[in-house]
Chain A
Amino acid sequence: MQEILQYIFSGLTTGAIYAVIALGLSMLYSSTELINFSHGEFVMLGAMGIVTLWVHMALPLAVAFFLTVACVACTGLLFERLAIRTAGNAGHIELVIITVGASIFLRGVGMVIWGKDPFSVPPFLGHDSIEIAGAALLPQSVFIVIAALVLAGGIHFFLKRTLTGKAMIACAVNKKAAWLSGIPSSTMAVTAFVISTGTGAAAGVFIAPITMSSYDMGTMLGLKGFCAAMIGGLGSLWGAFAGGLLLGLLESLGAGLLSSGFKDAIAFVLLLLILYIRPGGIFAARDAKRF
């Protein structure tokens, strides 16, 4: 019992991180119809940024966090401006290849800047754990889950309550109609990219104290993020969040109770099941279109 509780705690922690990754992907997809295969690399940049700014340069945590997110979001802006925008109206496959190229490029940059050795980051809120029914809960796990919720809530608020956010949703619904009613759709695409990569960086910061951070950590995290976004239904904000939590929980329980070697397979088996049975995600109506 207490073991299971322990698995649930760690599952919720990684799940919250997957949720944040999925959030960024899902948001970008809903406003630009693009799947960014380099999203995981932005997560890596976030983790590495906190290594440099907080661990090595000893800046205050909050400053380091915002600086990291801002820098990575700027990289995302540059990426959209230089690569995606110049590609114009290339097809889906070409855009996927461009983002794959970007992911290799960013990984290369990460390797040159930070080297091949992994880094560890101390926990944000000390080592003392809270004990609940025999299971240890690190304060930073609570912090991560709350931060993820705040982030998701913030994006939700932005999309539903601000004019820019509403304009973005309009772009997602119908780009041409939005453009006709005076919404600068290209600015909206850039904004979506900045927010998406920014949340990716935040996810990287959150995951840094949990695992070792190295230049090649991004690919797997990005793919897990896709799975989570897909489980919740591509393009749905809270769906992606719930998908992330579910994925984290199942992974942690699966690794603990079944086999740790096949832990990574759980995400992909789940992905296939969702695609075959409910392609619109678990929360979608029964007859979601399969594109």
Chain B
Amino acid sequence: MSILEVNNIKKKFDNTEVLKDISFSMEKGQTLSIIGSSGSGKTTLLRCLNFLETPDEGTISVNGNLLYDAAVGHGKDADIREKRLHFGMVFQQFNLFPQYTALENVILAPKLEGRGKSAEEIIENGKVLLDKMGLYDRMNNYPHQLSGGQQQRVAIARALALQPDILCFDEPTSALDPELTGEVLKVIKELASQHTTMIIVTHEISFAKDVSDEIIFMDGGVIAEQGTPAQVIDNPANERTRQFLSNYNG
């Protein structure tokens, strides 16, 4: 059974159709990268999964449970919150909470949600996650005292702290200096090797090829091509994919 199944998702902003009938599925433990030029709809797709945008049509199922059906719409706020927790989200701009330290950022949501864990357990788990991100010695720093790369790694730890089924990345390195990109990609690669289920929207083509089990190339609101990195990146069948990739290889 697929961990995620997305069927016939459509999304319009005013009169612009950003997503035109998107369907795909992915397996547990896989890394799926979504590539494509700006405006192709890849970020909107990711935001639909997190319910930061509401799809106009289509369904989303996680672990075989129907999470969202546009024909029914969302339930109460509490339902949306519950559904969102299946997905973790790492933003392009990190969006750390500036008034909290790195550790406080990581443990804030788990503490508020409780889920039967003691405060000590939550703090301990937060420290373990930051250690995994190579930030154990920075856990008491505030976001403005950290580099962009470090902030993004805190954001990854924060998303992992809620143990989501699927971790989503929205261009996680686009706001970083080239020197800082590597440290974030390294952490994501590490997560992939531990079989964390991830969807990564990225412009880093060689990284996507390296880390992904599956790649989706989006163009004009549709999935133009989908397959393994060897298929999509090395032997693209679609003319648009070839065009897009030639800008990177050239």
Asked if A and B bind, the verdict is no
